[in-house]
Amino acid sequence: MAFIDYYKILGVDKSASDADIKKAYRKLARKYHPDLNPNDKEAEKKFKELNEANEVLGNPENRKKYDQYGENWQHSEEYEKARQQQQQYQSRGQSGNFGGGFGGAGDYSDFFESMFGGGARRDSRRNSVFKGQDLNAELHLDLKEVYTTHKRTLTINGKTIRLTIPAGVENGQIIKISGQGGEGVNGGPNGDLYITFSIENQTNFKLDKHNLYSTVEIDLYTAVLGGEITANTFDGKVKLTVKAGTQNGTKVKLKGKGFPIYKKEGEFGDLYISYQVMIPTDLTEREKELFMELSKLRKI
């Protein structure tokens, strides 16, 4: 297996921070995403390489193994086990006691060479059972898309995966899809797929946990005298009654009009609306006179 330089694929140095790696991956993933490059085989190939690089370097534990073992990072545990067994063998060999172990020096050397590529025998490697590689992918969604549960079809490493995305999934949340990673070796189980959600908010609502926040403008006369207005919620419009004498910055709470709570069907946060009183400008002379009269009345 040829060595793949994942650092080179992401365009970062080996000393790059986790944040630098994540930033580089996101930038390139957007550039080569299949949705933006339809029927472009080179872009599709590049996108797969980026995902593979992110699967390794984007996971601190995998990155550590990769830095130490290179192309064989997935089998680091087997390597360490074999190394420990070799040390035990050497220790026992000096005293002539091999216990149950491998039954002798020849057997052990063959095993160790098969694990570390000594070039002698490869039967043990061919017969070794390994779990497939775990894969990592990042799915970019808009806040509106995760307001309702919906289905999505993804293509990852050439595999088509149909995914149901529950309403209320959060930015940065990671979900695991068992058995959808790389294929196992010699009958071993498939790896798993880990999907990280990157959710962008392009709405006029601010989201904090499950609650939504927005600002609604009301005119001075409605604020002073009271009245009825129409306000936007995340999934439609509602009519609100404004009390007379409403002050600028007054907040009202609409229970259950917030964001859906992840995997809790029918449960929602709340919507908090802040009133912003708009002061009239470009007054006519008559309007100014009336405001002056009101001002005088208030001072009596």
Phi and psi at residue 110, to the nearest 5° = -60, -45
Fold (topology level) of 135-200: HSP40/DNAj peptide-binding domain (2.60.260)
Split at pLDDT 50, 70, 90, the class of 105 is very low
Fold (topology level) of 206-299: HSP40/DNAj peptide-binding domain (2.60.260)
User: So what's the pLDDT on residue 90?
Assistant: 53
Q: At what angle do helices 105-116 and 76-95 cross, to 10 degrees?
A: 160
Residue 67 tokens, joined: 């830095």
Do 186 and 130 meet the contact criterion of CB atoms below 8 Å apart? yes
**Model-level pTM?**
0.57
Phi and psi at residue 93, to the nearest 5° = -65, -35
pLDDT by residue (tens digit) across 39-72? 888 888 888 888 888 888 988 888 888 887 776 6
User: So what's the pLDDT on residue 220?
Assistant: 94
pLDDT by residue (tens digit) across 239-262? 999 999 999 999 999 999 999 999
Residue 100 has pLDDT above 70, yes or no: no
The full 3-state SS of 139-195, as one line of letters, equals EEEEHHHHCCCEEEEEEECCEEEEEEECCCCCCCCEEEECCCCCCCECCCCCCCEEE
Q: How far apart are CA 40 and CA 32, in angstroms?
A: 9
User: So what's the pLDDT on residue 68?
Assistant: 78
Q: Give the contacts of 197 (CB within 8 A, at least 6 positions apart).
A: 138, 139, 141, 146, 169, 170, 171, 172, 173, 174, 175
pLDDT by residue (tens digit) across 273-289? 999 999 999 999 999 99
Split at pLDDT 50, 70, 90, the class of 97 is very low
Q: Where are the chain's structural domains?
A: 6-127, 135-200, 206-299
Q: Strands 271-278 and 211-219: what pairing?
A: parallel
Same fold? 135-200, 206-299: yes
User: So what's the pLDDT on residue 198?
Assistant: 92
Q: Chain-centre distance of CA 279, in angstroms?
A: 43
Phi and psi at residue 176, to the nearest 5° = -110, 130
Among 141, 233, 247, which Cα is nearest to 195's? 141
Domain formed by 6-127, architecture: Orthogonal Bundle (1.10)
pLDDT by residue (tens digit) across 190-245? 888 999 999 999 999 999 989 999 999 999 999 999 999 999 999 999 999 999 99
